[in-house]
Amino acid sequence: MSDELSTPDELLYSRAHEWVRVEGDIVVIGITDFAQNSLHEITFVEVSEAGTVLETNAECGLVESMKASSEIYTPIAGEIVEVNPSLEDSPEVVNESPYDKGWLMKIKPSNLESDKAQLLDAKGYLEYVQSL
Amino acid sequence: MTDSLRRTHLYEWHKEHGDLVPFAGWEMPVRFTDIREEHKAVREAVGIFDTTNMNRFWISGPQAPEFLQTVTTNNVSKLEINGGQYTTCLNEQGGIHDDLMLYRVGENEYIWVTNADNGPKIHDHLKKTSKDFDVKVENRTKEVSMIAVQGPKALALLSKLAGKDVSEFPRFSANLVSLAGNDCYLCRTGYTGEAGAELLVLDTPFNDEGKKKAIAFWEEILKQGEEFGVKPCGLGARDSLRLEAGFVLYGHEIDEDTSPIEARISYAVKFKVDPHYLGYDTVWSHKKEKTIRKTRIGLIMIDRGIPRQHYPLLFEGKQIGEVTSGVMSPILKQGIALAYVKPNTVQIDDIVEVDIKGRFRKARVTSWPFYDKERYGETRIS
């Protein structure tokens, strides 16, 4: 776990500590470095299955660590098109690589511009986290 | 009266090497590296824990054994000098004030080691109940620090520190030993299921000199323990280890509304004792007339998920109880839990459902310890 918080510039962030990356007509979603560091030893990750249609901020999964249990809420409404297959056998990938190999799900957005407007940029998220 | 958290003698070391969290009014390390790695070190080698936040009372005087029998449920008269026993202290309704270790270290001298949470409550209880007895109750929590050394290599490490073989000391015994120049009561007990000891480190007053002495001792244990693979361990591993062993935790499996019979720690309860302890009649009724209101069970997850405290349990569609503690077992790599259910509802191998935040996940009713006793624990076949 790094001492300095990582908040890549190209991503958007929710106050529930999820990140969003737009890749063409789908978005990739995961949890932030701050979230994985707070949870620490992640032992279990569960995400709703591909095909599930979600509204903005709907609960769509659970991240469990040795000392904590945390729901995942989608910052982007739409249909889940893919869930990271590594999560079941290697949940620790979320600790090790929260923005890359530890992605949680890919969504085909139904309301992207409106949902993006609710999110923070890297600088805004860093300020938000520092205020907690 | 300050609201700030209390700190042990080893606080400065913990601050430098671990992640501190509030626990029972104390600032304690939850981990030093990774909870699972620390857990595995205890199961496979040796781990050390700072347990100074627990409370240590000295009870002495000509009426000490008689007094202690009125406030604890195990048979005090069976304790020989240097003997120890696991026991409980009850309220009038047979509920549990605390679980504790009681050691006899002299003719009429006993040490009561009790949970961090319950220090003030127990101290008040002892002061009140000892008034009519010729005994002295002293709270030596501050001047005696405490370190647990646990794991299959623990006794080898302790023998190295003592310069003699300490594995001869029987389980539950408490003997005065000098370890790396520190006088300690070496108590052959623990909260992990593995062999080892809990050290009551004498002459460590809570001042600069005492703190330096305690830190030096802790560091010496780590240095001498390197060849055995020693790891410093925090509260996270302490909890996952005791859960795998099936041990109760105050505030989860035991409390003022739970009897030791309901908690299935009957080995801490004896009836052929004199005088009868506070709560005797209720425990008698629970044990002999089966008037228990609930009973403790173990669960191992079949589906994915981690059961946690307060999650409801369902059997054949009806709620029968709730989880009291749960964790992902680092050894089994499966969720495990302790829970209470209504009596006569389920038995071993029944399948129940745990309501994990609205997701109903299957678990099998099982007993403890959760690990294979031939591979892990004090009774392992080495």
Quick: pLDDT tens for B59-80. 999 999 999 999 999 999 999 9
Number of neighbours of residue B281 by Cβ within 10 angstroms: 12
Residue A2 — pLDDT band, cuts 50, 70, 90? very low
Q: Does A92 touch chain B (CB under 8 A)?
A: no
* Residue B114, CA distances (Å) to A102, B141, B143, B340, B380 in order: 43, 10, 15, 24, 28
Q: Collect all residues of chain A within an 8 Å Cβ-Cβ radius of residue B30.
A: 67
CB contact under 8 A, A88 and B304: yes
Cα torsion B143, B149, B150, B155: sign: negative
* Residue B381, CA distances (Å) to B158, B194, B195, B373, B377 in order: 21, 12, 13, 8, 9
Interstrand relation of A78-83 and B182-187 (parallel, antiparallel or unpaired): unpaired
* Cα–Cα distance, B376 to B276 (Å, whole number): 38
Q: Which of A48, A65, A67, A87 best probes binding to B when mutated, by most B CB atoms within 10 angstroms?
A: A67
CB contact under 8 A, B240 and A66: yes
Any idea which of A17-21, B21-25, B159-163, B236-240 has the lowest mean pLDDT? Answer: B21-25
* Cα–Cα distance, B76 to A81 (Å, whole number): 66
Q: Collect all residues of chain B within an 8 Å Cβ-Cβ radius of residue A3.
A: none
* Cα–Cα distance, A91 to B156 (Å, whole number): 36
Q: Does A82 touch chain B (CB under 8 A)?
A: no
Q: Does B327 touch chain A (CB under 8 A)?
A: yes
H helices then E strands: how many in chain A? 4, 9
* Cα–Cα distance, B81 to B105 (Å, whole number): 5
* Residue B343, CA distances (Å) to A128, B58, B291, B317 in order: 50, 39, 9, 17
Q: What is the pLDDT of residues B257-294, one digit of tens each?
A: 999 999 999 999 999 999 999 999 999 999 998 999 99
Q: Does A71 touch chain B (CB under 8 A)?
A: yes
To the nearest whole angstrom, how far is the Cα of B77 from the nearest Cα of chain A? 41
* Cα–Cα distance, A124 to A127 (Å, whole number): 5
> Which residue(s) pair with B355 in the sheet?
B360
| B41: its two tokens | 């070190």
Runs of H (alpha helix) within chain B: 11-17, 35-44, 64-71, 119-129, 154-162, 208-224, 235-245, 280-288
Closest CA to B266 of B238, B239, B292, B298: B292
> Which residue(s) pair with B19 in the sheet?
B31
- A75 preceded by a cis bond (ω within 30 of 0): no
Residue B5 — pLDDT band, cuts 50, 70, 90? confident
The answer to whether residue B2 scores a pLDDT higher than 70 is no
Pick from B30, B304, B359: which is nearest to A67 by CB? Answer: B30
Q: What angle do CA B119, B209, B160 make, to 5 degrees?
A: 85
* Residue B210, CA distances (Å) to A116, A123, B69, B127, B213 in order: 57, 47, 34, 27, 5
Q: What is the pLDDT of residues B191-202, one digit of tens each?
A: 999 999 999 999
As a whole-number percent, the residues of chain A with pLDDT over 70 amount to: 98
Contact by Cβ (8 Å): B193, B378: yes
Q: DSSP string spanning A56-78?
A: TT-EEEEEEESS-EEEEE-SS-E
CB contact under 8 A, A67 and B34: no
> Which residue(s) pair with B118 in the sheet?
none
Place of tokens 């302490």: B238
Place of tokens 């202290």: B89
Place of tokens 């995942």: A72
**Residue B80, Cα to own-chain centre: how many angstroms?**
22
Residue B238 — pLDDT band, cuts 50, 70, 90? very high
Q: Does A69 touch chain B (CB under 8 A)?
A: yes
Pick from A46, A66, A88: which is nearest to B35 by CB? Answer: A66
| B268: its two tokens | 């801490």
How high is the mean pLDDT of chain B? Answer: 96
Residues sharing a CB contact under 8 Å with residue B189, sequence separation 6 or more, in sequence order: B84, B86, B101, B171, B172, B197, B198
Q: What is the pLDDT of residues A31-89, one digit of tens each?
A: 999 999 999 999 999 999 999 999 999 999 999 999 899 999 999 999 999 999 999 99
> Which residue(s) pair with B364 in the sheet?
B300, B351
Q: Chain B residue with minimal CA distance to A65?
A: B328
Place of tokens 């860093």: A126
CB contact under 8 A, B327 and A66: yes
Q: Chain A residue with minimal CA distance to B336?
A: A66
Q: Chain B residue with minimal CA distance to A40?
A: B34
Q: Collect all residues of chain B within an 8 Å Cβ-Cβ radius of residue A69.
A: 306, 308, 357
Q: Which of A43, A70, A73 best probes binding to B when mutated, by most B CB atoms within 10 angstroms?
A: A43
To the nearest whole angstrom, how far is the Cα of B142 from the nearest Cα of chain A? 29
The pTM for the full model equals 0.95
CB contact under 8 A, A41 and B35: yes
For residue B98, the model assigns a pLDDT of 98
Helix (H) or strand (E) holding A53: strand A53-54
CB contact under 8 A, A69 and B327: no
Segment B132-157 mean pLDDT = 97
Rounded to a whole number of angstroms, the CA Rg of chain B reads 21
CB contact under 8 A, B308 and A46: no
Q: Does A64 touch chain B (CB under 8 A)?
A: yes
